[in-house]
Amino acid sequence: MKMRKRITIFMAVIIALCFMLPAMAIGADKVINLEVASVTTNVDKNGTPYARVICNEVRSLQGTEYSTGIAVMAFREMVEPVSKLEKGSVLKAIVSEREYQGRKSYTILKLLP
């Protein structure tokens, strides 16, 4: 009887993991070259400055191209140069890509000239 209980618990854990895995996304580094729509600088609850850049990215879905805003975040030493960007300028950077609930966002790792 103990073995049957252990197998049941093991199967329940496996099923729970199967539901949680799609929510976790593995990020990848990539190079972006996007037009800046807006730049916002702010300070987090710990007093550390950060910058949020909204860029327009062209995507394709079932053969239809569309443009969508995507958040590009800058932290630490990247905040100052990113905060000088203006609307309409081009952001060239190496970024870490993340996805949460189907929405992509980027974190700047290095700015490119």
Confidence of residue 102 (pLDDT cuts 50, 70, 90): confident
- Domains contained in the chain, number: 1
Q: For residue 26, what pLDDT is reported?
A: 57
Q: For residue 72, what pLDDT is reported?
A: 93
Domain assignment present for 18:
no
Percent of the chain with pLDDT over 90: 41
Whether the per-residue pLDDT at 23 is higher than 60: the answer is no
Give the strand pairing for 64-75 and 49-61.
antiparallel
CA angle 73, 105, 83 (to 5 degrees): 20
Domain assignment present for 9:
no
CATH code at 46?
2.40.50.140
Mean pLDDT of the 35-64 span: 91
Q: For residue 70, what pLDDT is reported?
A: 92
Range of the domain at 73: 27-111
Domain assignment present for 4:
no
Whether the per-residue pLDDT at 79 is higher than 70: the answer is yes
